[in-house]
């Protein structure tokens, strides 16, 4: 009766709401936006983990919606058999069908409470607040990418690290944009996402990268992304 699906769905929605609750107090949220645990830990906590959580929840939501349709169809078929009767039926078979129908009706109610109209507002609120937090976290990454790249000018070793940060930002921007698109809630304009793809395809030292020093090229690229991202967030 899809008991595992329901348990996983409930756990995913509860986790999503826990993260989304952080969007209720901007001051508290900003307090949490520090790198005391290190950059990688921060990215995992505020971007990678919630993005994965959104994908898992959306997958479970689709599964629960499909299960609801299947249960409703089976209930309709059982009703036809119970009302119409069948050759060679009998009380024992009718009782079994009636019990099956009762079980399915309970299961239908469980699923409907999770993905039906009455649950829509709860789900929408959780996803919208989670995306708001993702947007703020992504903005933080954009704000930190440009200054770090400026420090890499003239230092090939730092240029490589700075480029890695630009590439990380690009991937995260695309993931956040994809998550927002599923909800039809703009987080980054599509033209900015396209630009991120183009600029990060031109790696330092490649034929398309020009003759500029790697550190200088990365700094210029990051500065352009920083400006574009700042303007994009101002329009939201």
30-61: per-residue pLDDT in tens?
545 555 556 677 888 888 999 999 999 999 99
Collapsing DSSP states into helix, strand and coil, what is residue 36?
Answer: coil
- pTM of structure: 0.71
Confidence of residue 155 (pLDDT cuts 50, 70, 90): low
Between CA 13 and CA 66, with CA 123 as vertex, the angle to 5 degrees is 80
Residue 173 in contact with residue 196, Cβ under 8 Å? yes
Contact yes or no for 209/182 (Cβ under 8 A): no
C-alpha distances in Å from residue 147, one per residue of 189, 221, 227: 23, 11, 12
User: What distance in Å separates the CA atoms of residue 230 and residue 236, rounded to the nearest whole number?
Assistant: 10
Q: Out of 21-25, 114-118, 176-180, 215-219, give the one with best mean pLDDT.
A: 114-118
Give me the pLDDT at residue 113, please.
Answer: 94
Sorting pLDDT into bands at 50, 70 and 90, what band is 163?
confident
C-beta of residue 67 within 8 angstroms of C-beta of residue 5: yes
Quote the mean pLDDT of the chain: 75
CA angle 95, 98, 104 (to 5 degrees): 145
Termini Cα distance of the chain: 43
Q: What is the pLDDT of residue 22?
A: 81
pLDDT at 231 over 70: no
Query: What is the number of other CB atoms lying within 10 angstroms of the CB of residue 55?
Result: 15
pLDDT at 7: 94
Q: What is the pLDDT of residues 69-96, one digit of tens each?
A: 999 999 999 988 888 765 555 677 878 8
Give yes or no for residue 217 having a pLDDT over 50. no
Q: Specify the higher pLDDT residue, 17 or 143.
A: 17
pLDDT at 94: 77
Token code pair at residue 120:
């829509």
Bigger pLDDT: 178 vs 218:
178
**Per-residue model confidence (pLDDT) at position 91:** 75
Asked whether the predicted pLDDT for residue 210 surpasses 60, the reply is no
Q: Which of 160, 145, 157, 161 is nearest to 221 (CA)?
A: 145
Higher pLDDT, 152 or 74: 74
So what's the pLDDT on residue 17?
Answer: 93
User: What pLDDT score does 72 carry?
Assistant: 94
* pLDDT of amino acid 43: 85
pLDDT of 236 = 42
DSSP 8-state symbol, 208: G
* Of 1-10, 114-123, 173-182, minimum mean pLDDT range: 173-182
If 0-12 CB within 10 Å is exposed, 13-18 middle and 19+ buried, where does residue 3 land? exposed
């Amino acid at each position: 009766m899809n008991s595992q699906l329901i348990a996983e769905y409930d756990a995913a929605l509860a986790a999503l709401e826990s993260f989304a609750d952080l969007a209720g107090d901007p001051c508290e949220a900003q307090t949490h936006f520090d790198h005391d645990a290190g950059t990688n830990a921060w990215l995992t906590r505020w971007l990678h983990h919630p993005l994965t959580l959104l994908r898992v929840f959306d997958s479970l939501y689709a599964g629960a919606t499909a299960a609801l349709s299947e249960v409703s169809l089976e209930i309709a078929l059982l009703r036809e058999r119970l009302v119409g009767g069948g050759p060679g039926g009998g009380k024992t078979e009718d009782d079994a069908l009636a019990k099956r129908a009762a079980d399915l009706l309970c299961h239908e109610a469980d699923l409907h409470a999770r993905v039906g109209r009455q649950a829509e507002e709860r789900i929408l609120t959780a996803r919208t607040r989670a995306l708001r937090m993702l947007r703020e976290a992504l903005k933080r990454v954009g704000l930190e990418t440009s200054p770090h790249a400026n420090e890499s000018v003239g230092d090939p070793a730092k240029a490589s690290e700075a480029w890695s940060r630009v590439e990380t930002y690009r991937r995260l921007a695309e993931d956040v944009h994809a998550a927002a698109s599923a909800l039809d809630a703009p987080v980054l304009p599509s033209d900015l996402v396209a630009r991120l793809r183009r600029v990060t395809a031109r790696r330092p030292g490649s034929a398309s990268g020009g003759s500029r020093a790697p550190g200088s090229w990365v700094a210029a690229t990051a500065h352009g992304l920083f400006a574009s991202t700042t303007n994009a967030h101002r329009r939201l």
